[in-house]
Amino acid sequence: MSLTATATESDRETELKTVPGPILLLGAPGSGKGTQAKELVKLWGIPQISTGDLLRSNVSQGTELGKTAKEIMQRGELVPDTLVNEMVAVRLKQPDTAAGYMLDGFPRTLPQAAWLDGRLASQPQCLPVVAVSIHVDYNQLLRRITGRRNCPVCQTIYNIYSKPPKVSGFCDVEGAALVQRADDTEQVFAERMRAYEAQTAPVVEHYRASGRFAEVDGDRPIAEIAAGIVSAVERLRKQA
């Protein structure tokens, strides 16, 4: 993911189109970060690193981190920075991150952002991080979160309002009974939004000020939002 000093302008153009580097997807709970990350990693061939997914996997495996995180997550609060940073550090050491990666749900606090910025600054061969924030209004977020259901087998995401399964309550692909995340209730959503406004909104401002930042409207069809993110990342990479 380095840009060579000797690359010609056209080499550089090609490289910019094909080497995504580190990308942050920012946005409130329910803004579609996970859905978009899944679309874009297929396109770019880089891994999606979702701190929410990593934490849920620790919870289901009953690790020490999972035991600490479980109740915090059920309350809709944020897991302590040091634990999340350490978890991300371990994941970023995997070789599949060499050409770039898409961080989904991280950083969520200014100390996490400072940690990530410091880590990237210590690796001068890395492309700088670019951040894309997906904007969706509060009522739409509430509907998305409280309507969300997942297939526990193939992880397909449904929404009882906007993308219902053919047979209510069951996955179209696997036939498995759909499940609702414990933190997708209206009450926990309100707490997650409080955490977002207090702790994550300043992170959005931090990356906006960096200049390598774009905001996309998340209240559109999935493919249109994905196309908007791709063109934003390509534009930001050209100026980076």
Min. distance of Cβ 219 from ligand AMP in angstroms?
A: 18
Does 79 contact ligand AMP by CB under 6 A? yes
> Is 16 or 39 the residue whose CB approaches ligand AMP more closely?
39
Annotated catalytic residue 12: no
Does 144 contact ligand AMP by CB under 6 A? no
Q: Which one is catalytic: 56, 70, 148, 237? A: 148
Residue nearest ligand AMP, Cβ-based:
52
Nearest to 27 by CA among 128, 136, 186, 184: 136
Angle at which helix 110-121 crosses helix 81-92, to 10 degrees, equals 30
Does 142 contact ligand AMP by CB under 6 A? no
Tokens of 230: 């791709």
Per-residue contact string for residues 96-115; x = within reach of ligand AMP by CB under 6 A: ---------xx-x---x---
- Supply the DSSP symbol for 62: T
> Is 16 or 79 the residue whose CB approaches ligand AMP more closely?
79
Contact 198, 31 (CB under 8 A): no
Burial letters 71-95, b for 16+ CB under 10 A, else e: eebeebbbbebebbbebbeebbeee
Terminal-residue alpha carbon distance, the chain: 13
Annotated catalytic residue 194: no
Which window, 51-59, 128-136, 213-221, 231-239, contacts ligand AMP (CB under 6 A)?
Answer: 51-59
Angle at which helix 51-61 crosses helix 81-92, to 10 degrees, equals 100
Annotated catalytic residue 212: no
- Provide the binding-site residues for ligand AMP, judged by CB under 6 A: 29, 51-52, 55, 72-73, 76-79, 84, 105-106, 108, 112, 183, 192
Catalytic residues: 33, 108, 148, 181, 192
